[in-house]
């Protein structure tokens, strides 16, 4: 029976699509009398079926060899493209994480979007979203992975722009789509190059090709840079990181998935491509550099934000930066552990954020305060997610961070220091947010703040329990080191960095208005961090200005040179025709004279070089 569930794994991505299609009568307005709730129930039911099916398949494949499912799609000359699924314990584990998080987010949405007129459309988009992510982690070919990444980009655009009547939402959706397209186009170049060089895009075939390839170093470098460009955009890494901050304009349930499993999918593709990327030391160095810049920069920027969702979205970029560092240093085990533990903790934090926004109708930290006594379940959930996200023994992210610190301290201590600094800054930021939102005196928007209804509370509390049980789950799956083999120096150092950040968050005084300092140097630093090191303004003055100038030059050249030349030819033809019509006399001897004269002149020109 277990083998049946494994052999039908190809159904798992289809469940989400079925849910999206079943919701179409409500999302398109064909069915109105029942309200949009049936569409929500259908999608939740299909996601539950996908999770249960995946769980049974995971049990069936555990301690069993990997299996491939291959459907030929295109075969011409030396190029073969297949739709390939790879069934392994790792892939199914990632899929279970996606379906579980999607199930909780959809139940959470029942309360968060209860009065939204487009609830059915939201669930259709969520089904499409889930299908793209599920297929991506099961994909056994780069061709299929790239296609599903495009589906993920499209679904991100549609979910960010869900409230399309708001101008900021439209801008955020457009920027998110175009920013990801930059990385996707570069990745497509790498995909086409690999198809031409290797003749196949199946990961197993590519891994075999890598062992015998003899390309020039510059080709390896360009190929590696093209392959990492797509994940850089998907994981919101510098310089393609601004979209995740703007994407917070979308509904919070979509942000729960976007900050947990969507960015994880982008990093997961990079992990699959790592055996090819390692051919280029330059590409690995770029991974480490971009990861370090993003991890440190985003951690600092998060501290200066006063928008609740944006402050936490920057920490997502920071943690994915740590994943890039681990991959650049060729430690995929640490990257996978960090991805798994961060996804659960960050999703729980964003569920708490959604509860706060629902109750207070705002997300400005300067308008919060005193919620701990009014929203105890939300307070405990946010605190649990925060502790699970930083290096606090024995909760989840501690183990992923510890693996990274232990591995990097032996080879590149500076990179291990980046892990410690990011852990400390994240602890500081989470403590700052906790104090501003839950502690202190109640503000006008928080004086009447009841706890959220059960559709939001149940998934939030359930995920809080799972977050606390992560160490036991990892131990059951043999993913934790034994106490004897644990590097206590790295563990205690990591724990100390988290406690230092926690102490800073408690000790540093916070002004409720968060006024800018009167001290000019400190005020400049505040502005620098609050505006993300002025990255957007720098882009406006450089990239955007350069493209604008080139477009103006192209417009001038097209209008006055190309159009001018075409118009001149047309005018000459018109004048020539008008002139020649007066030579039409009807006398044949004149026509014969014209022909003889033309042939004579042509003969003179052709024999000119012989004279």
The per-residue pLDDT for range 340-367, each reduced to its tens digit, is 889 999 999 999 999 999 888 888 888 8
What Rg value do the Cα atoms of the chain yield, rounded? Answer: 30
- At 320 the pLDDT is 92
Domain ranges in the chain?
Answer: 539-610
**For residues 514 and 443, is the Cβ–Cβ distance under 8 A?**
no
Of the given ranges (36-40, 224-228, 544-548, 594-598), which has the lowest mean pLDDT? Answer: 594-598
**For residues 309 and 388, is the Cβ–Cβ distance under 8 A?**
no
Residues 10-37 have a mean pLDDT of 87
Which pair of structure tokens corresponds to residue 557? 């050249």
**Cα–Cα distance for residue pair 357/251, rounded to 1 Å:** 11
Comparing CA positions, the residue from 24, 95, 32 lying closest to residue 58 is: 95
Q: Which residues contact 131 (CB under 8 A, 6 or more apart)?
A: 13, 14, 15, 16, 17, 20, 151
Which DSSP symbol is given to 307?
A: B
End-to-end CA gap in the chain: 95
The per-residue pLDDT for range 455-508, each reduced to its tens digit, is 899 999 999 999 988 888 888 877 777 777 778 888 888 888 889 988 888 888
**Is the pLDDT reported for residue 586 higher than 70?**
no
Backbone phi, psi, residue 200, to 5°:
-150, 150
Backbone phi, psi, residue 63, to 5°:
60, 20
- At 463 the pLDDT is 92
Q: Which residues contact 283 (CB under 8 A, 6 or more apart)?
A: 220, 221, 224, 225, 227, 228, 277
The average confidence (pLDDT) of the chain is 86
Which DSSP symbol is given to 163?
A: S
Comparing CA positions, the residue from 196, 273, 275, 195 lying closest to residue 232 is: 273
Cis link prior to 239 (omega < 30° from 0)?
yes
Comparing CA positions, the residue from 307, 304, 80, 96 lying closest to residue 205 is: 80
**Cα–Cα distance for residue pair 411/405, rounded to 1 Å:** 10
**For residues 84 and 67, is the Cβ–Cβ distance under 8 A?**
no
Which pair of structure tokens corresponds to residue 119? 């609830």
- At 472 the pLDDT is 87
Backbone phi, psi, residue 279, to 5°:
-65, -25
**For residues 207 and 275, is the Cβ–Cβ distance under 8 A?**
yes
The per-residue pLDDT for range 218-275, each reduced to its tens digit, is 888 999 999 999 899 888 888 888 888 888 888 888 888 888 888 888 899 999 999 9
Question: Cα–chain-centroid distance for residue 528?
Answer: 25
Kindly indicate the confidence band of residue 512, based on its pLDDT and cuts at 50, 70 and 90. Answer: low
pTM score: 0.88
> Is 162 strand, coil or helix?
coil
Q: Which residues contact 531 (CB under 8 A, 6 or more apart)?
A: 537
The per-residue pLDDT for range 420-456, each reduced to its tens digit, is 999 999 999 999 999 888 887 878 778 888 888 888 9
- At 490 the pLDDT is 85
**For residues 270 and 339, is the Cβ–Cβ distance under 8 A?**
no
**Cα–Cα distance for residue pair 602/608, rounded to 1 Å:** 10
Which pair of structure tokens corresponds to residue 343? 């996804």
**Cα–Cα distance for residue pair 118/10, rounded to 1 Å:** 31
Kindly indicate the confidence band of residue 321, based on its pLDDT and cuts at 50, 70 and 90. Answer: very high
The per-residue pLDDT for range 515-567, each reduced to its tens digit, is 555 566 777 877 788 887 888 888 888 888 888 889 888 888 888 888 888 88
- At 608 the pLDDT is 67
What are the C-alpha distances in Å from 609 to residues 600, 604, 605, 606? 16, 9, 8, 7
Residue 17, Cβ neighbours under 10 Å: how many?
17
């Amino acid at each position: 029976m277990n083998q049946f569930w494994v052999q039908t794994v190809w159904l798992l991505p289809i469940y989400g699509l079925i849910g999206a299609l079943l919701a179409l009568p409500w999302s398109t307005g064909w069915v109105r009398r029942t309200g949009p709730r049936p569409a929500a129930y259908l999608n939740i039911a299909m996601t539950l079926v996908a999770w249960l099916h995946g769980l049974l398949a995971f049990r069936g494949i555990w301690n069993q060899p990997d299996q491939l499912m291959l459907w030929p799609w295109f075969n011409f000359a030396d190029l073969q493209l297949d739709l390939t699924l790879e069934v392994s314990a790792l892939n199914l584990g990632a899929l279970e994480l996606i379906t579980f998080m999607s199930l909780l987010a959809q139940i959470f949405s029942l309360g968060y979007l209860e009065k939204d007129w487009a609830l059915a459309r939201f669930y259709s988009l969520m089904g499409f979203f889930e299908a793209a992510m599920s297929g991506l982690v099961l994909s056994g070919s780069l061709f299929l992975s790239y296609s599903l990444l495009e589906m993920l980009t499209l679904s991100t655009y549609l979910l960010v722009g869900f409230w399309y009547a708001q101008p900021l939402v439209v801008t955020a959706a457009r920027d998110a789509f175009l920013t990801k397209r930059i990385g996707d186009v570069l990745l497509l170049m790498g995909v086409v190059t690999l198809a031409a060089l290797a003749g196949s895009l199946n990961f197993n075939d590519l891994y075999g090709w890598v062992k015998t390839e003899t390309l020039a170093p510059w080709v390896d470098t360009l190929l590696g840079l093209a392959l990492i460009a797509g994940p850089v955009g998907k994981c919101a890494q510098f310089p393609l990181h601004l979209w995740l901050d703007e994407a917070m304009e979308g509904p919070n349930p979509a942000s729960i998935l976007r900050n947990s499993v969507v960015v994880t999918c982008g990093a997961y593709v990079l992990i699959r491509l790592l055996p090819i990327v390692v051919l280029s030391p330059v590409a690995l160095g770029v991974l480490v550099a971009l990861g370090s810049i993003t991890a440190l920069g985003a951690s600092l920027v998060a501290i200066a934000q006063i928008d609740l969702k944006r402050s936490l979205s920057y920490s997502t970029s920071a943690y994915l930066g740590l994943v890039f560092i681990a991959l650049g240093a060729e430690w995929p085990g640490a990257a996978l552990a960090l991805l798994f533990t961060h996804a659960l903790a960050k999703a729980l934090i964003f569920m708490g954020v959604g509860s706060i926004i629902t109750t207070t109708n705002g997300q400005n930290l300067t308008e919060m305060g005193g919620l701990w006594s009014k929203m105890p379940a939300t307070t405990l959930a946010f605190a649990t997610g925060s502790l699970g996200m930083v290096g606090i023994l024995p909760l989840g992210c501690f183990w992923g961070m510890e693996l990274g610190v232990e591995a990097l301290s032996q080879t590149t201590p500076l990179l291990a220091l980046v892990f410690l600094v990011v852990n400390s800054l994240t602890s500081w930021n989470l403590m700052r947010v906790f104090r501003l939102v839950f502690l202190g005196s109640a503000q006008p928007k928080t004086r009447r703040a009841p706890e959220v209804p059960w559709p939001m509370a149940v998934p939030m509390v359930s995920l809080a329990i799972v977050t606390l049980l992560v160490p036991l789950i990892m131990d059951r799956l043999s993913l934790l080191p034994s106490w004897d083999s644990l590097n206590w120096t790295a563990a205690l150092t990591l724990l100390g960095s988290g406690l230092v950040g926690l102490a800073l968050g408690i000790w540093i005084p916070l002004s409720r208005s968060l006024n800018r300092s009167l001290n000019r140097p400190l005020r400049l630093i505040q502005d620098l961090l609050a505006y993300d090191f002025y990255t957007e303004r720098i882009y406006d003055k450089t990239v955007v200005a350069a493209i604008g100038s080139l477009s103006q030059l192209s417009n001038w050249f097209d209008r006055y040179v190309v159009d001018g030349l075409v118009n001149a030819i047309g005018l000459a033809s018109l004048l020539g025709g008008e002139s020649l019509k007066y030579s039409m006399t009807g006398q044949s001897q004149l026509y014969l004279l014209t022909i003889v004269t033309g042939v004579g002149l042509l003969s003179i020109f052709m024999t000119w070089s012989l004279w």
